[in-house]
Amino acid sequence: MTSILGELEIIEKNFAERLSGAASSDELQQVKVAFLGKKGSLTSFLKKLGSLPTEERPAAGEAINSLRDAMEQRLASKKTQIEEAESAEEERKNRLDVTLPPRSRMWGGIHPVAQLTQDVVEILAGLGFSVALGPEIEDDFHNFEALNIPASHPARDMQDTFYFPDGKLLRTHTSPVQVRSMLRFGAPIRIVCPGKVYRRDSDPTHSPMFHQLEGLLVEKDISVADMKGCLEALMEALFGRSLKARYRASYFPFTEPSLELDIECVECSGKNPSCRICKGTGWLEVAGLGMVHPTVLRYGGIDPQVYNGFAWGVGLDRLAMLKYKLTDLRVLFEGNVPYLLSGRAL
Amino acid sequence: MLISWNMLNDIISIPASLEEVAERLTLTGCEVESIEYPCRQLKDVRIALIEKLEKHPEKDLLFVAAVNDGIGTAVVVTAAPNLSAGDRVPYGRPGAVLADGSVLGTRSFGSVESQGMLLSAEELGVPEAADEFGILRLSPDAPVGEDAKKWLGLDDAVLDLSITPNRGDLLSLLGVAREVYALFPGTEWKNDPAQTPAPAEPKEWPSEFRGITLEDDGCRKYCLGLATGLVPGVSPLRVRIALSFLGMRPISNMVDATNLAMLTLGQPTHAFDAGRLAAPEITVRPAVQGETIRTLDGKSHSLQDTDLLITSGGNPIGIAGVMGGENSEILPETRSVYIESASFDAIRVSRTSRRLGINSEAAFRYARTVDSALAEIALNYIANLLKEWGSAQSAYVIRSASSERKDQVTVSITGKMLQKILLTGDLDEASQILQRLGLKEIAAEEGKRTFNVPSWRPDITIEEDLLEEVGRIRGYNETMEPRLPQVLYGRGDIGSVTRLKGDIRRTLLSRGYVELVNYSFLSPSFVKLLRLPENDRRARPLELANPLSGEQSVMRTILLPGLLRSAEQTSLAGWKSPVMVFELGRVFLPLEEGGHEEIERIAGLVYGGRDPRLPYGPQEADDLFSLKGDILALAGSRHVSLQFVQGEEPFGHGGQTAGIEKDGRKVGYLLRLKPSIERDLDCAPLYAFELDLEPFEKDVLPSFRESSQFPPVYRDISLFVPSESPMEDVVRHMREEAGELLRNVRLFDIYVGKGVPEGHRSLAFSLAYQRDDKTLTDSEVDGVHACVRKKLEALGYILR
Ligand SMILES: [Zn+2]
C-alpha cells in the first residue's frame, strides 16, 4: 500500500512538472494523453489495481480516483489559462494603428455667412419673427419708390445700382421685401428677410454682392425702446454675451426717426487704442434701423394712424466677419476651398 | 464736408471742447469721420522782420538776412529771391519744428553760420497758399514776435463730417453752426453770416443792364450782383490758408470770394465776365433739345429739353446749378463781373448733372436743396469780401427776379406721439429743442404744439420729422431703456426654404462637402465652356446694363460654372487633395414669353484632385455612385424619393449622365463632365449634380410601416443583363410578378468578364419574401420565386 501511494506521489509530481511546462493547447493535450489517456501513466496504474491484495484495493482505488479528479481539474484550469493567453496573443497580432485616417469622408467646410444667416434667423424666430423672401431682381417701385426714395432723390447716390436693359435692377438692399410682405400679409407683422444684395461698388473693401438681413415689426404702440430691445437681444444671442450698445441718429429715406446701432468692439471692448477691428474707437457699426416711415406703411397698404413699427438692416457678412474674426470679405466669395476648410476642427 | 474749427469759433462761441462737439455731432446724425490737424507738428515759428538783407559774401545765389523775431536778432541764410529788407516773414530758430516734423538747427554756408530758417508756405504745411516762389511774405501788419502758427490760423483743426442726403443745410459752416447752436444750449452767435448786411451801394439797375427773365419754374429765384473795377490778385493769406485746409485750391481773389461764400453759407454762385455776355441781360429757360454748350472744364455737352439753361442774348452761358459756360468765363483781364446767386430745382439739377456726369460742388449742393433765402445774402457776403480785400472798386446786388411762392411750412407735434415713439410726454422740452433748431412755435394747445419750419430745413414736413429732431437731440441712449415689444408672440416660422437649406447644408457637410457662396454674375464665356447650344435657355443669360467688368456681366443660369471655377482655382493654387464643394443659391433664367424666373438650386461638384492616391485603395475614391449616395442622402433628409434615369446634358459625359426625376418630372442632373471639358479645365475626373430646391420644399413627415412578426424567407437570383438595360427594370419586373410577397430586393453582386456574354453583365440579387399574417412555407416561396424566374426568362434575360 505504501508503495502504491509512493508511486502515485511520483506520478503526481511528474504531472505537476509537465503541466507547468505546457505552453500551448497542443502541449496541454499531450500532457493529458500522457497521464489520463488510454496508455497514460495513471490509466496504466489503474490497470495494476487488480494485482493488489483485495483489502487494499478500495483505498488504492480511492487514492487513484481522487488524483485523477485533481489532475482533470488542474488540466481544465490550465486550459482556460492557455486559451486566454493564446487569444490575447492573437489580438495583439491583429493590432490596428488607430491613428490612421478614417475611411469615410471628413466633415466638410461651413461657409461663415451661410452659417451666420441660419443662426440669426433662428434667434429672431425665437422673438416671433418669421422668414420672408423676395426676388433678387427687383423693380424700381419696390427697391426705391415704395421705400420713399423717388427718382433723382439724392439718397439714390447712397446705393449705386446694377441695372438691366429693361429697367429692372438687382436689389440694393433687402428692404423691398418689407413692402412685398406688408402688401401680402398686412399688419400686425413680424418678419425677417435674409438674402443677397448688390451694389455697383468696386472698392477693395466692398464686394459687389453681399448679404443683408432686414427685420420688420409693425404692430400698435411701438416705440424706439422696443426696437432697441429686439436688436440688443439679437446681438447678445449672436455673440453669446451682453455687449454695450450705442445709438446714433442717422438718415434712411424709409425710416423716421432713423438710427444706427454701434456695439462694443467684440475684439477689444474699447480697451485697445490701436485695435484693428474698431480702429481704436471701441465701437462697431452693425445695423441701420428706424421707425417705419408712414409713407412706406401706406405703400405697404397699412394705415399709419393705427399701426406703427420699426425696421432694421444688418450686414450679415460683416457680422460673420466679427463673429468668426475674419479679416477679408471678398475671399468669402472666391470659392477658396482651403480657406473655407481651415475653420474645421481636425 | 470739411469744417474749420477756427472758422466755426469765429461765428459762434461754443461752451464745449472740440472733442465734445465732435462726439455730440456724431451721435445726433452728423458723423464726424475724422479730426485733422493739418499743421500739427509745426512749432516755435515766429513772425520776424528782415532788418537787413545782403548777398552772401562767397556764394552767389544766397542771401544773408539779419532778422528780428521779437526775442532778438539772428543771422540766417536764404536762397529765396523774393525778399527785401523790411519784409515780415515766418522764421524758425534752431529747435523749431516744420510741418513735416523736421527740426531746424544751425548750419554753415561758407563763412556764414545760419541760425534756423526763413520759411516758405510749403515748409509751413500749406503749399497751396503760396502766391509767389520763395519765402512766404506776410502783410505789413503782421506783428513781429508773434507765433506765426496762431496768427496765420495754422493751428486749425479740420472736422470731416459725413452729411446725410436729407441735410443739405449742413453743407456749410452756417449750417453746422446752427446745428452746434441747437446741440449745446449756451452757445451764442458772435457773427452770423446769414445776417451779412448789404454793402452801401446803389440799388438800381446799372443803365446798361436790361434785366433778368425767368422762363422756367425750375428757377424760382435769380439774383445778380455786379462787381466792377476788379483788381486782379490773390485773396488774403489767411483766406488762402483756410481754403486750402478745406480742400479748395486758392485761385484768385474773385474765385476765392465765391468759394468762401459757398463754404460759409452753402450757396453756390457763379461769376460771368460782364464784358463777354452776348447781351446785357440774363434769361433762364429750358434747353432746346440738341442744343450744345461748352462748359468751363472745356467739355462740350449736348442738352435735352429738361435741362435748365442760363442764357444771355439767346446764347447759353451756363447749365443752371451745374457748371458755367466757357464763353463767359472770367479771364485775367476781366474787370467787371456779374455774379449769379440763384435757387434751382433740386431734381432738375440732379438729373442733369447725373446724365452729363458733372459732379460739381454746386450741383452736389443744389441736388440736396439750397435755402432760397441765401441768394441775396451770398451776394452781399461776396461784395463785402471784395471790398474788404480791395479786390473791386464797387460791388453790390443789382437785381433779383423771383417767382417764388413763399409757402410757410407748418408742422405740429403731439404729446401722444412723443409718448408713443420716445416714451416721453414732455412737450415743453420738445418745444425748446425745436426752437433752438430754428423752428418757431406759433401755437401751443393742450397736448400739441405747432411750429413754423425755417427755410433751411425743407426736410421737415411731417410730425415724424419733428419726432426725429427731438429724438436725436435728446439722444436715444440714456433716455430710454431697451425693452421687448409688449405683445407676446409665438415662435416665428423660419419657413420651409430656410429649413430645407439647413437640412441640405447639414447633410452635405457631414458627407464632406465645403459650402461655397459664389457671385451671382458670370462671364458670358460660361456658355462656351459648358457647350450650351443656342436653343438652351441657359445659354441666354440676363445681361447687366452696367456691369463692373466683362467677367461679371451676366446673371448665372446654372450654378455649375462657379463650382468648376473653385475646383480649377483650388487646384491651380497647389491643392492636391480631392475637392468637394456645394452651393445653395439662385439662378436666373429667361422665359420664352419674356421676363425671367429666379430659381433656388443646390449644386455639388467633386473633383478627385491632382493626387488620387488613397490609403485604403482606389475603391475608396469618389465616383458617380458616391455622388448618387450624397444626393439620396439629401433627398432622404427631406423624406423625398428620387429616380435616376439615363440622361443627357450638353456638358455631360456621353455615357455617364443621369437625369434626376421626382414623380416623373425632371428636377436635375448627376453626371461626370464631358471629357473635353475636363481637358479644358485640366481637372479630371469631375462629377457634378444640380437640383431645383422646389421639389424638396414641402415639409414631409416620414411615414412608418409596422413590420411583419413573421420572418422573411430569402432566395437569390443571378442573371445576365444587357449593358444598356437598367437594373431598375429588372427589379421592377420582379416586383410586378411577385406582387405583395416580395418585400425587398437587394443587389449584391455585379460582374463583367469571363463567363459573361459580350454586351452583358451579371447581376445577382437577394430577394426577401414575407407575409404579415403568417410564416411563408418553402413551397409557397418556391412557387412565387419560380414564377419570377420564368417571367425574367420570358423577358429575355439569361438566368444562371
Ligand atoms: Zn476694438
CA distance B510 to chain A (A): 5
B259 pLDDT above the threshold of 80: yes
Rounded CA separation B84/B78 (Å): 12
* Interface mutation vs chain A, best among B183, B514, B576, most A CBs within 10 Å: B514
- Same domain as A122, residue A84: no
pLDDT band at A11; cut points 50, 70, 90: confident
- Same domain as A232, residue A117: yes
- Other C-beta atoms closer than 10 Å to the C-beta of B573 total 10
- Same domain as A135, residue A58: no
Task: Considering only CA atoms, give the Rg of chain A.
Answer: 43
* Partner-chain residue, chosen from A190, A198, A222, that has the shortest CB–CB distance to B489: A190
The torsion angles phi and psi of B669, rounded to 5 degrees, stand at -135, 160
β-sheet with B760-769: strand ranges across:
B742-751, B760-769, B713-722, B798-799
* CB contacts < 8 A (A, B): 254
Lowest mean pLDDT among A321-325, A328-332, B358-362, B659-663: A328-332
Q: DSSP secondary-structure letter at A156? A: G
pLDDT of residue B488: 72
* Interface mutation vs chain B, best among A337, A340, A346, most B CBs within 10 Å: A337
Domain boundary among A65, A93, A121: A93
CA distance A98 to chain B (A): 14
- Same domain as A129, residue A80: no
Find out whether B83 and B50 touch, Cβ atoms under 8 Å: yes
Per-residue pLDDT of B364-379, as tens digits, reads 999 999 999 999 999 9
pLDDT of residue B203: 61
User: Could A198 and B520 be called an inter-chain contact, meaning their C-beta atoms sit closer than 8 Å?
Assistant: yes
In a domain, A190, yes or no: yes
* Partner-chain residue, chosen from A113, A200, A226, that has the shortest CB–CB distance to B548: A200
* Interface mutation vs chain A, best among B161, B163, B494, most A CBs within 10 Å: B494
Tell me, what amino acid is at B1?
M
B436 pLDDT above the threshold of 90: yes
Domain boundary among A30, A61, A93: A93
Lowest mean pLDDT among B47-61, B173-187, B188-202, B643-657: B188-202
Contacting residues of A for B480, CB less than 8 Å apart: 223-225, 228
In a domain, A103, yes or no: no
* Partner-chain residue, chosen from B422, B483, B520, that has the shortest CB–CB distance to A209: B520
Establish if B481 touches chain A: CB-CB under 8 angstroms.
yes
| Section A202-214 average pLDDT | 86
pLDDT of residue B642: 95
Structural domain count, chain A: 2
In a domain, A143, yes or no: yes
In a domain, A107, yes or no: no
* Partner-chain residue, chosen from A131, A154, A188, that has the shortest CB–CB distance to B494: A131
* Partner-chain residue, chosen from A125, A222, A228, that has the shortest CB–CB distance to B482: A228
Rounded CA separation A71/B488 (Å): 84
What 3-state class would DSSP assign to A295? Answer: helix
* Partner-chain residue, chosen from A107, A232, A256, that has the shortest CB–CB distance to B482: A232
B543 pLDDT above the threshold of 90: yes
- Same domain as A295, residue A258: yes
pLDDT band at A2; cut points 50, 70, 90: low
pLDDT band at A157; cut points 50, 70, 90: low
| Section B513-541 average pLDDT | 96
Classify B145 in phi/psi space as left (phi over 0), alpha (psi -120 to 50) or beta.
left
User: A32 C-alpha vs ligand 1 centroid, how far in Å?
Assistant: 83
Domain boundary among A66, A93, A120: A93
User: Could A114 and B517 be called an inter-chain contact, meaning their C-beta atoms sit closer than 8 Å?
Assistant: yes
pLDDT band at A193; cut points 50, 70, 90: very high
The torsion angles phi and psi of B268, rounded to 5 degrees, stand at -70, 145
Establish if B347 touches chain A: CB-CB under 8 angstroms.
yes
- Same domain as A306, residue A196: yes
In a domain, A295, yes or no: yes
A342 pLDDT above the threshold of 90: no
pTM equals 0.88
Tell me how far CA of residue B534 lies from CA of B528, B531, B539, in angstroms.
10, 9, 6
pLDDT band at B8; cut points 50, 70, 90: very high
B400 pLDDT above the threshold of 80: no
Mean pLDDT computed over every residue of chain B: 93
Chain B: residue whose CA lies nearest to A224? B421
CA distance B489 to chain A (A): 5
Contacting residues of B for A128, CB less than 8 Å apart: 488-492
Q: What is the DSSP string of A205-257?
A: T--SEEEEEEEEEEESS--HHHHHHHHHHHHHHHHTS---EEEEEEEETTEEE
In a domain, A173, yes or no: yes
- Same domain as A161, residue A117: yes
Rounded CA separation B188/B184 (Å): 10
A244 pLDDT above the threshold of 90: yes
Angle at the Cα of A331 from the Cα atoms of A327 and A337, rounded to 5 degrees? 120
Q: What is the ipTM of this complex?
A: 0.89
Lowest mean pLDDT among A25-34, A179-188, B653-662: A25-34
- CA–centroid distance for B109 within its chain: 55
**More confidently predicted of A117 and B701:** A117
pLDDT band at A253; cut points 50, 70, 90: very high
pLDDT of residue A62: 85
What 3-state class would DSSP assign to B89? Answer: strand
| Domain containing residue A247 | 112-341
* Partner-chain residue, chosen from A122, A164, A258, that has the shortest CB–CB distance to B542: A164
| Section A176-186 average pLDDT | 95
pLDDT band at A206; cut points 50, 70, 90: confident
- Other C-beta atoms closer than 10 Å to the C-beta of B644 total 17
In a domain, A216, yes or no: yes
B438 pLDDT above the threshold of 80: yes
A158 pLDDT above the threshold of 80: no
pLDDT of residue A147: 94
pLDDT band at B706; cut points 50, 70, 90: confident
pLDDT of residue A261: 97
Contacting residues of A for B166, CB less than 8 Å apart: 155, 251, 253
The torsion angles phi and psi of B325, rounded to 5 degrees, stand at -85, 155
| Section A106-131 average pLDDT | 94
| Section B746-752 average pLDDT | 95
> In chain A, pLDDT over 90 holds for what percent of residues?
59
* Interface mutation vs chain B, best among A103, A149, A162, A310, most B CBs within 10 Å: A162
- Same domain as A136, residue A80: no
B101 pLDDT above the threshold of 70: yes
In a domain, A104, yes or no: no
B62 pLDDT above the threshold of 60: yes
Chain A: residue whose CA lies nearest to B26? A248
| Section A240-266 average pLDDT | 95
> In chain B, pLDDT over 70 holds for what percent of residues?
99
Q: What is the DSSP string of B133-153?
A: SSS-PBPTTPPTTSBHHHHTT
- Same domain as A123, residue A70: no
- Same domain as A132, residue A89: no
pLDDT of residue A329: 78
pLDDT band at A199; cut points 50, 70, 90: very high
- Same domain as A120, residue A80: no
Using H for helix, E for strand and C for coil, what is the string for B656-668? EEEEEEECCEEEE
pLDDT of residue A336: 87
Residue B470 grid cell? 427731438
Name residue B269's beta-bridge partners: B341
A1 pLDDT above the threshold of 60: no
B594 pLDDT above the threshold of 60: yes
User: Could B546 and A163 be called an inter-chain contact, meaning their C-beta atoms sit closer than 8 Å?
Assistant: yes
Contacting residues of B for A131, CB less than 8 Å apart: 492-495, 497-498
B202 pLDDT above the threshold of 70: no
Contacting residues of B for A114, CB less than 8 Å apart: 505, 515, 517, 584
pLDDT of residue B700: 85
pLDDT of residue B464: 96
- Same domain as A32, residue A121: no
Establish if B579 touches chain A: CB-CB under 8 angstroms.
yes
Which CATH number goes with the domain that contains A150? 3.30.930.10
User: A278 C-alpha vs ligand 1 centroid, how far in Å?
Assistant: 4
User: B25 C-alpha vs ligand 1 centroid, how far in Å?
Assistant: 22
